[in-house]
């Protein structure tokens, strides 16, 4: 049972200095006879028992290591007072969207009751921002003179300035923005130009769910990094918004160490409903290596945080970290390692701990988890519970959930998050801290432009053409900036551009070596250019060591006209065959790697179909695709993980459809034998057999 605290803290609130310190949730039991049990957590109360949970969890079904003495007979209990810590209570209420002036006034009054003087002032000002004549709020805001001084030039309070800002965010050209900026300055606005330009940039970003977004900031340090993003419908670029970084589960994706099972896209479904409910942005990056603690993921985590805070108005006092399974292990790693960033973190069904970096932590695990056992999290919870400093933590463990991640757990940990803001030392966070107030970095200027530069009156400045050198620099950087450069370079259909892009593709080694991400983009650019001059640099990369580059080369060669592309495509086929053999571990392949190899060969089929030369294509398809993957002399198996969408037959069928289309395009009767051999190798897969037989009949 937890150490008792003064009843006054429960019933009357507490002083700011006391509330700034970590304290458990202050439930109180009053037993018949007058005895009080204070600073406890009640997880269950029914007609039979009142259960005091030593792990600070409120989940009624939790039974893990709850002593019998904590199961108090109901007939011995006079009263149960359930309450959050005053500061948590306020923060959870203040974080809600759509609060009215009356709501803010009620919160201000509640803060006075709880002893939260600074928070009462904030809420009174918010009330007056919506209802300037509210006489009840004025005393709480320090009086009319004090409020008018605060409101002067503040667009968050001044309705006229707020309307000008909304028009600024919706403006479609720099000339209109320049005129609005002049009007705002004339009205006394104190809003920095950098804030306005970032908000304008953010307003143009789509809301909702977006998948496989290429990282732009510092992308050269995290080649190929992508993330899945969910921005709630309630997002307003003028309002600082909470952010959750959620790490996916999975593991190594095959023999190739760059492959990872699991992705941000597969993790996002856990968080869709709660993101909208709590009005927070959720970003799920895809790991560059497994596990999440791998050094390759460090620049990804850091760059993602920076990028999100420049593209979206993030409340720097409300950034949280969570993750499930491998992501839970990653949360235990990155939580304390980046303690200066997070307001709290929540490792779920993972491993690690017990270090928290002084942060609040919510831990969840299933007692019957057969994939990642609960022992590590149990040990961490015991250490935290026994810590005399009384850290702010919750440990929830329940039965019959296995390795699952139930919706109620996700909701519970998000509720936990909303009550924890980033307090820095003795300085308590009382209001949002907008990420748009950051000083512009060289990387931001390089990737997104200088937000501190006022918009020019001449709108034509926005469309100024970039030089070839600048475009190549963006291509070499890779990521989102490189993606944009591909389209711009593809419009420059000249030999000089081909040579410049070819140099990026050829830069495999040495001090000037380009990242694999940049080289993939270079190959794609050459494919978009689709000139005869592009074949030579593409051919030089046909037997590259990185399968991603080889895949891009295959697609690009298929787009380039001329017989010179045929021999390089044969070398691409041999390289893909070698990649497949290297992926095998004896008689088995990891599904993630198998699916990728199928997709690679699918691109090869498309390229051969585009070239329409059966004499070149058929031997390569027979020796590298059919003899190795579709109808191998040495059979293989593909173990699957039910946690993920792993269906080898579906990956195989998608490839066979590509092969059939290719062979029909080549129009050679010899192709029928390849389809017949494939059908014979997988007689139990009806859809695959049908595809092969129908294709053979066409030939």
| 245-283 pLDDT per residue, tens | 999 999 999 999 889 999 999 999 999 999 999 999 999
Q: What's the pLDDT tens digit per position in 487-531? A: 999 999 899 999 999 999 999 988 788 999 999 999 999 999 999
The C-alpha atoms of residue 30 and residue 607 are separated, in whole angstroms, by 77
The C-alpha atoms of residue 341 and residue 352 are separated, in whole angstroms, by 19
DSSP summary character for residue 293:
T
What are the tokens at 589? Answer: 């392949």
What are the tokens at 496? Answer: 């000089």
Sole residue written with tokens 């309630």: 234
Q: How far is CA 38 from the centre of its chain?
A: 40
Q: How far is CA 231 from the centre of its chain?
A: 11
What are the tokens at 386? Answer: 């026994």
Q: Could you write out the DSSP letters of every residue in 553-620?
A: HHHHHHHS-SGGGHHHHHHHHHHHHHHHHHH-BTTB--HHHHHHHHHHHHHHHHHHHHHT-HHHHHHH
Among the listed residues 142, 113, 2, the one whose alpha carbon sits nearest the alpha carbon of residue 67? 2
Report strand pairing: 344-348 vs 361-366.
parallel
Among the listed residues 513, 518, 527, the one whose alpha carbon sits nearest the alpha carbon of residue 481? 518
pLDDT at 401 over 60: yes
Q: What is the pLDDT of residue 13?
A: 32
Q: What is the pLDDT of residue 642?
A: 83
Intra-chain end-to-end CA distance of the chain, in Å: 79
Q: What is the pLDDT of residue 511?
A: 74
The arithmetic mean of pLDDT across residues 310-339, rounded, is 98
What are the tokens at 520? Answer: 């993939």
User: What percent of the chain shows pLDDT beyond 90?
Assistant: 87
Q: What is the pLDDT of residue 459?
A: 44
pLDDT at 465 over 60: no
User: How many CA atoms lie within 13 Å of 602's alpha carbon, on the beta-carbon side?
Assistant: 14
Name residues whose C-beta falls within 8 Å of residue 153's C-beta, 6 or more positions apart in sequence.
Answer: 161, 187, 188, 189, 190
Among the listed residues 197, 307, 187, the one whose alpha carbon sits nearest the alpha carbon of residue 245? 307
Contact assessment for residue 59 and residue 412, using Cβ atoms and an 8 Å cutoff: yes
pLDDT at 464 over 70: no
Please name the helix (run of DSSP H) or strand (run of DSSP E) that holds residue 174, with its range, or none. Answer: helix 174-186
The arithmetic mean of pLDDT across residues 687-693, rounded, is 97
Name residues whose C-beta falls within 8 Å of residue 641's C-beta, 6 or more positions apart in sequence.
Answer: 261, 591
What are the tokens at 18? Answer: 């006391």
The C-alpha atoms of residue 206 and residue 146 are separated, in whole angstroms, by 39
pLDDT at 135 over 60: yes
The arithmetic mean of pLDDT across residues 570-581, rounded, is 97
488 in the Ramachandran plot: left (φ > 0), alpha (ψ -120 to 50) or beta?
Answer: alpha
DSSP summary character for residue 440:
P
The C-alpha atoms of residue 404 and residue 441 are separated, in whole angstroms, by 41
| Mean per-residue pLDDT of the chain | 92
pLDDT at 636 over 80: yes
The arithmetic mean of pLDDT across residues 59-71, rounded, is 94
Grouping H, G, I as helix, E, B as strand and the rest as coil, residue 395 is strand
Q: What is the pLDDT of residue 23?
A: 42
At residue 25 the predicted structure's pLDDT band, cuts being 50, 70 and 90, is: low
The C-alpha atoms of residue 422 and residue 321 are separated, in whole angstroms, by 12
Sole residue written with tokens 């409903």: 273
What are the tokens at 555? Answer: 């697609």
Contact assessment for residue 122 and residue 128, using Cβ atoms and an 8 Å cutoff: no
Q: What is the pLDDT of residue 643?
A: 84
The arithmetic mean of pLDDT across residues 101-111, rounded, is 97
Q: Which residues lie across from 42 on neighbouring strands?
A: 52
pLDDT at 349 over 70: yes
pLDDT at 16 over 90: no
Q: What is the pLDDT of residue 3?
A: 33
Beta carbons within 10 angstroms of residue 197's beta carbon = 24
The C-alpha atoms of residue 536 and residue 654 are separated, in whole angstroms, by 31
What are the tokens at 536? Answer: 């030579």
The C-alpha atoms of residue 237 and residue 260 are separated, in whole angstroms, by 34
pTM for the full predicted model: 0.90
The arithmetic mean of pLDDT across residues 145-173, rounded, is 94
Contact assessment for residue 517 and residue 556, using Cβ atoms and an 8 Å cutoff: no
At residue 425 the predicted structure's pLDDT band, cuts being 50, 70 and 90, is: confident
pLDDT at 537 over 80: yes
The arithmetic mean of pLDDT across residues 304-308, rounded, is 98
Q: What is the pLDDT of residue 456?
A: 78
Going 418 to 424 to 429 to 431, the CA torsion angle's sign is negative
Q: What's the pLDDT tens digit per position in 643-657? A: 888 999 999 999 999
Q: What is the pLDDT of residue 562?
A: 84
Q: What's the pLDDT tens digit per position in 182-222? A: 999 999 999 999 999 999 999 999 999 999 999 999 999 99
Contact assessment for residue 664 and residue 699, using Cβ atoms and an 8 Å cutoff: yes
Q: What is the pLDDT of residue 205?
A: 93
């Amino acid at each position: 049972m937890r150490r008792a605290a003064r009843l006054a803290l429960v019933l009357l609130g507490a002083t700011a200095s006391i509330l700034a310190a970590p304290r458990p949730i202050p439930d109180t039991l009053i037993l018949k006879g007058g005895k009080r049990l204070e600073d406890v957590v009640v997880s269950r109360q029914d007609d039979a028992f009142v259960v005091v949970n030593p792990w600070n969890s409120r989940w009624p079904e939790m039974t893990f290591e709850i002593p019998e003495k904590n199961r108090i007979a109901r007939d011995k209990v006079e009263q149960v007072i359930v309450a959050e810590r005053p500061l948590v209570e306020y923060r959870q209420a203040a974080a809600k969207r759509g609060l009215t002036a009356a709501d803010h006034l009620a919160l201000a009054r509640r803060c006075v009751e709880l002893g939260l003087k600074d928070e009462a002032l904030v809420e009174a000002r918010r009330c007056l921002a919506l209802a300037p004549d509210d006489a009840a709020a004025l005393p709480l805001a320090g009086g009319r003179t004090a409020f008018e001084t605060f409101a002067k030039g503040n667009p968050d309070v001044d309705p006229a300035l707020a309307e000008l800002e909304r028009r600024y965010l919706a403006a479609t050209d720099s000339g209109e923005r320049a005129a609005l900026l002049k009007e705002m300055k004339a009205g006394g606005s104190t809003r920095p130009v950098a804030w306005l330009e970032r908000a304008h940039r953010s307003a143009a970003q789509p809301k909702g769910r977006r998948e496989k977004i290429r990282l732009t900031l510092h992308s050269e340090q995290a080649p190929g990094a992508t993330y899945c993003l969910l921005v709630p419908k309630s997002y307003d670029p003028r309002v600082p918004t909470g952010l959750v970084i959620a790490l996916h589960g999975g593991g190594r994706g095959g023999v190739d160490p760059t492959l990872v099972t699991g992705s941000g896209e597969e993790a996002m479904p856990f968080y869709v409903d709660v993101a909208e409910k709590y009005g927070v942005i959720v970003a799920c990056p895809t790991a560059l290596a497994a596990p999440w603690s791998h050094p390759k993921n460090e620049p990804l985590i850091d760059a993602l945080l920076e990028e999100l805070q420049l593209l979206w108005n993030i409340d720097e006092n409300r950034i949280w970290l969570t993750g499930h399974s491998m992501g839970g292990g990653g949360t235990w790693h990155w939580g304390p390692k980046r303690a200066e960033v997070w307001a709290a973190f929540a490792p779920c069904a993972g491993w690690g701990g017990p270090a928290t970096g002084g942060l609040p932590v919510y831990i969840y695990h299933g007692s019957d988890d057969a994939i990642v056992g609960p022992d590590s999290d149990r040990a961490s919870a015991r250490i935290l519970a026994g810590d005399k400093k009384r850290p702010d933590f919750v440990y929830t463990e329940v039965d019959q959930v296995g390795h699952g991640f139930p919706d109620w757990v996700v909701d519970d940990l998000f509720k936990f998050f909303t009550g924890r803001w980033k307090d820095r030392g003795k300085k308590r966070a009382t209001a949002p801290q907008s990420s748009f107030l950051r000083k512009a970095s060289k990387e931001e200027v390089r990737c997104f432009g200088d937000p501190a530069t006022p918009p020019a009156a001449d709108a034509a400045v926005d469309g100024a053409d970039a030089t070839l050198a600048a475009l190549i620099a963006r291509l070499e950087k890779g990521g989102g900036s490189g993606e944009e450069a591909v389209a711009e370079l593809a419009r420059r259909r000249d030999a000089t551009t081909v040579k410049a892009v070819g140099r990026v593709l050829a830069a495999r080694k040495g001090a000037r070596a380009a990242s694999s991400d940049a080289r993939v983009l270079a190959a794609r650019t050459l494919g978009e250019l689709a000139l005869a001059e592009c074949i030579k640099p593409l051919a030089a990369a046909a037997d590259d060591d990185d399968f991603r580059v080889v895949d891009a080369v295959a697609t690009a060669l298929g787009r380039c006209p001329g017989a010179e592309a045929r021999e390089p495509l044969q070398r691409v086929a041999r390289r893909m065959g070698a990649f497949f053999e290297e992926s095998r571990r004896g008689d088995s392949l990891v599904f993630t790697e198998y699916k990728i190899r199928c997709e690679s060969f699918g691109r090869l089929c498309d390229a051969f179909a585009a070239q329409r030369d059966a004499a070149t294509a058929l031997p390569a398809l027979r020796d590298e695709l059919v003899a190795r993957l579709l109808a191998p002399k040495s059979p293989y198996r593909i173990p699957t993980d039910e946690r993920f969408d792993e269906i080898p037959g579906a990956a195989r069928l998608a490839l066979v459809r590509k092969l059939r289309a290719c062979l029909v395009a080549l129009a050679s009767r010899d192709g029928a034998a390849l389809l017949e051999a494939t059908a014979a190798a997988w007689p139990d897969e009806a859809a695959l057999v049908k595809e092969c037989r129908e294709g053979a009949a066409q030939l």
